[in-house]
A = this chain, B = another copy of it.
Amino acid sequence: MSELARLSINSETIKQWSLEELVAGCVEAGVPGVAPWREPVAAYGLQRAARLIRDAGLAVTSLCRGGFYTVAEPTARKAALDDNRRAIDEAAELNCPVLVLVSGGLGDQDRDLKGARIRVAEALAELAPYAGERGVTLAIEPLHPMFCSDRCVVSTLSQAIDLALPFPAEQVGVVVDTYHCWWEPDLEAQIRRAGETGRLALFQVADWITPLPEGVLLGRGQLGDGHVPLREIRRLVDATGHDGPVEVEIFNAGMRARDGAEVLAEVVQRYRDHLV
């Protein structure tokens, strides 16, 4: 099997590319999977995007993203849940098995972290059956704790697994993203637990580098540039029996300023060097 057989490229990694460019670039480079965000799919048109990717012979490994349902106010909360149902529909239309969920953070002046976390569990209860009926697994992504207040109140793999466990495994799983969880003291045990409970729905990779830029969002590192033992974590993931895609999702301002084909070639090379 090709060394690249499990590689997938998340559209945020080469955000300067349109969906069409991403698909053509991956075909050209021998990359078999793509993980688009909803925005480029919507820009291209949902059915059209589904056809484009299918005709190119690529797999859609995940759709990013649902979530952002921590809000308490009823109207906003209903809108958030409706939007998540649409995201599930979009994943189904794309023949994509996994919808990534980023929970959302706290509102302005909001200090009720516990309450927000409870609302995450409640939102999952509303969405899980809907996803299950459409053959889509909701994948709870714990984000690095530095995003706890503004993006995601789910902060650790252990917490994500706990949130997933009340639901059938085909409905709700978790994302292991090396960028977000590399520092976790019990990472090895939690990856094993995700595997044993059948919850390891998606594996994403990026490296950790410093200094973090202002706002920290676009500071992820190219594979091999930072402190994450990527191959070691991949082995832990593989050891659970997981044989799904390895999705490269790197938010990096510098990479987005470069030529897309050059970035993709570099990602492929770094993947060979640090993950295969």
Contact = CB atoms under 8 A, between A and B. Distances in A.
Interface of A: 106, 110-113, 117, 144-146, 148-150, 153, 155-156, 158-159, 182-185, 208-216, 226-229, 232
Closest 5 CB pairs of A and B: A148-B183, A146-B146, A214-B214, A159-B185, A149-B227
Given A111-B227, A112-B229, A228-B111, A185 B214 contact: no
Nearest to A116: B227
A149 B208 CA distance: 8
Nearest to A231: B111
22 contacts: A111-B227, A111-B229, A111-B232, A112-B229, A113-B183, A117-B185, A145-B145, A145-B183, A145-B184, A146-B216, A148-B208, A149-B183, A149-B208, A149-B226, A150-B210, A155-B184, A155-B185, A156-B185, A210-B215, A212-B214, A212-B215, A214-B214
Chain multiplicity (copies): 2
Contacts of A158: 185
Nearest to A187: B113
Contact of A155 (B112, B183, B216, B232): B183
Question: Residue among A145, A156, A226 with the most chain B CB within 10 A?
Answer: A145
Provide the main secondary structure of the chain A interface.
Answer: loop
A209 B112 CA distance: 14
A105 to B, nearest CB: 8
Given A155-B183, A158-B185, A185-B158, A229 B113 contact: yes
B155 A227 contact: no
Question: Residue among A146, A182, A214 with the most chain B CB within 10 A?
Answer: A146
A227 B110 contact: yes
Contacts of A213: 214
Given A117-B185, A149-B208, 20 more contacts: A106-B227, A111-B227, A113-B182, A144-B145, A144-B146, A145-B145, A145-B146, A145-B183, A145-B184, A146-B146, A146-B216, A148-B182, A149-B209, A150-B210, A155-B184, A158-B185, A211-B214, A211-B216, A213-B214, A216-B216
Contacts of A159: 185
A156 B155 CA distance: 12
A216 B111 CA distance: 21
A123 to B, nearest CB: 17
